[in-house]
Amino acid sequence: MSTMDERRSRASAGLDGGHDWDRGFAAPRVVLQPIAAPSILGLFGFAGATFIVAAQMAGWYGNPTTAVYLAPFAAFFGGLAQFTAGMWAYRARDGIATAMHGMWGAFWLAYGLLFLLVATGQIETGRTFDTALGMWFVPLAAITASGAAAALLEGNLGVTAVLGVLAVGAALAAWGLMQGSTRVEHAAGYVFVAAAVLAWYAATAMMLKAAAGRTVLPLFKTEREANVPGEHPTHPIELSWGEPGVKMGQ
């Protein structure tokens, strides 16, 4: 039996998933559009903005004019860069990165705008301001905790650590700002600094892996190749969820 006759026989028997080979349809083609891991940009943007703001929150530096310098850095470094990474995470089929980078990127854009208004004298700070700002951190803490749980289920312990520590920092920031407790605010700042360091490490590990084509720093995922320095990824392109040639996640 010829190859074409065999295909027609299989199609008639329903073994080819209903492909109408006998109607002259062309065989399906797979076109790959690989992209760099969006979380490299997202985590670096988050780490930079969080460290700068957290250091001020921890009391390491700052004066009444600090908002002038915080606003643009937070808006562009933590906001625009990270929000863009969140949108690119859609292409990587990474739901966790889409949600976390998109949400925190939007937060930093809003934070930058808010403190730009403070710096220009359009908004006065005080107890009312602190209480309102503290409320911002309530949904941030809850949603970030959800992201940490999702990352844990995915087996990505590095991202779980970043998001878990970040959720604790957001909860402390909400408590400290709403209660007017400088001590709790300082504690939140220290926790945020820890989250920034973890994010910096995760982004560095991802960037080095992309540059070297192999694991350089452990990524703390459940797959062996993500945690053994020098190990090459075994499945760069996957067949997943019925999408040939699409690699799920980063």
Q: Is residue 60 part of a domain?
A: yes
**Nearest one of 117, 40, 50, 121 to 79, comparing CA atoms:** 50
Cα 131 from Cα 160, distance rounded (Å): 29
In this prediction, residue 183 carries a pLDDT of 96
Domain count, the chain: 1
Find tokens 């990165």 and name the residue: 97
User: Both tokens of residue 13?
Assistant: 């028997």
Rounded to 10°, the helix 66-73/38-57 angle is 170
Q: Is residue 104 part of a domain?
A: yes
Strands 243-244 and 239-240, by their bridges, are: antiparallel
Cα 185 from Cα 247, distance rounded (Å): 41
Q: Is residue 98 part of a domain?
A: yes
Q: Is residue 45 part of a domain?
A: yes
Q: Which residues contact 1 (CB under 8 A, 6 or more apart)?
A: 9
Q: Is the pLDDT of residue 1 over 60?
A: no
In this prediction, residue 80 carries a pLDDT of 96
Q: Is the pLDDT of residue 31 over 70?
A: no
Residue 171 in contact with residue 134, Cβ under 8 Å? Answer: no
Over its C-alpha atoms, the chain yields an Rg (Å, rounded) of 24
Is the pTM above the cut of 0.85?
no
Residue 8 in contact with residue 55, Cβ under 8 Å? Answer: no
Domain region containing 111? 38-244
Confidence of residue 151 (pLDDT cuts 50, 70, 90): very high
User: Both tokens of residue 36?
Assistant: 């760099």
Q: Is residue 199 part of a domain?
A: yes
Q: Is residue 189 part of a domain?
A: yes
Q: Is residue 10 part of a domain?
A: no
Q: Is residue 100 part of a domain?
A: yes
Cα 190 from Cα 210, distance rounded (Å): 31
Helix (H) or strand (E) holding 239: strand 239-240
Q: Is the pLDDT of residue 29 over 70?
A: no
